[in-house]
Amino acid sequence: MEYGPGPGDLIAFGRRVERENVIRAGIVVTLYSLLVVLGFFGLLVTNPELDFTHLLFETVSAAATVGLSMNTTPLINDAGLVILSALMYLGRIGPVTFAVAFTLRNQRPNGVKYPVEPDILVG
């Protein structure tokens, strides 16, 4: 039994956050950031004549699937629209779901999993 926070435990609002959840949150933030950076770079390459901040706004809006625009979308060429469409799709299903779909192999369960017995007094 654990009675207090151990070294390396994350405590927020009087609660301990599991290490697995912290790692999962870090992965989601990293993958979304990578998605936005790659999409933004793709839009900059395909549409160099458009404003930097407008393209960044369109990229973040597409990846977050919020539906906001700075009226730059009609000015983006076809290659840029494909990039925005891909960002909207990947933002909707989530980078983690997309990554897991390609990394998991057909794994069969090993059989029955029995519940864990609570602490047993021995001795």
Give domain status of residue 15, yes or no: no
Residue 25: per-residue pLDDT: 80
Residue 51: per-residue pLDDT: 94
Separation of alpha carbons 72 and 41, rounded Å: 16
| Residues sharing a CB contact under 8 Å with residue 120, sequence separation 6 or more, in sequence order | none
Residue 1: per-residue pLDDT: 44
pTM for this model (two decimals): 0.70
Give domain status of residue 17, yes or no: no
User: Strand, helix or coil at 25?
Assistant: helix
Residue 28: per-residue pLDDT: 81
Give domain status of residue 106, yes or no: no
Closest CA to 76 of 38, 46, 42, 41: 46
| Residue 11, beta-bridge partner list | 16
Give domain status of residue 19, yes or no: no
Give domain status of residue 88, yes or no: yes
Residue 111, token pair as written in the block: 């059989």
Range of the domain at 90: 33-95
Give domain status of residue 41, yes or no: yes
User: What DSSP state is assigned to residue 115?
Assistant: P
Give domain status of residue 100, yes or no: no
Residue 108, token pair as written in the block: 């069969």
Structural domain tally of the chain?
1
Q: 70, 57 in Cβ contact below 8 A?
A: yes
Give domain status of residue 81, yes or no: yes
Ranges in the chain, pLDDT < 70 = 1-6, 98-111, 114, 116-117, 119-123
